[in-house]
Amino acid sequence: GQQLNQSPQSMFIQEGEDVSMNCTSSSIFNTWLWYKQDPGEGPVLLIALYKAGELTSNGRLTAQFGITRKDSFLNISASIPSDVGIYFCAGQGGANSKLTFGKGITLSVRP
């Protein structure tokens, strides 16, 4: 079945640093999404991408939909302590099809 690969499982950065995460797949997706989960909460949508090559920003977050439609990356600039959490990528193959999630990357930010 479809799988999304996110690695490493954990990342540790210093406050103020930039961090990049990528997500790869052996399958093509028509939509890529990035979610963040805070401890004790459900995931929250950060950015949605609908077109190959699309680059979208949301505050300090920037994400891109890869040209091959098999990958996406998320960049967080000038990290702050509240960026701590689990970041999931998700792909959707077509309209009304299920989302496939990566296993997530746990981000820790040292003050």
Partner 1 sequence: KAGVTQTPRYLIKTRGQQVTLSCSPISGHRSVSWYQQTPGQGLQFLFEYFSETQRNKGNFPGRFSGRQFSNSRSEMNVSTLELGDSALYLCASSPDSYTGELFFGEGSRLTVL
Is 88 a binder of partner 1 (CB under 8 A)? yes
Q: Is 1:98 a contact under the CB 8 Å cutoff?
A: no
Residue 90 has a CB neighbour count (10 Å cut-off) of: 21
Instruction: Indicate the residue among 39 and 111 with the shorter CB distance to partner 1.
Output: 39
Binding residue for partner 1, selected from 13, 52, 61, 99, defined by CB under 8 A = 99
Name 78's bridge partners: none
Binding residue for partner 1, selected from 19, 21, 23, 33, defined by CB under 8 A = 33
Contacts of 59 (CB under 8 A, 6+ apart): none
Point out which residues bind partner 1 (CB under 8 A). Answer: 1, 31, 33, 35, 40-45, 48, 50, 88, 90, 92, 95-104
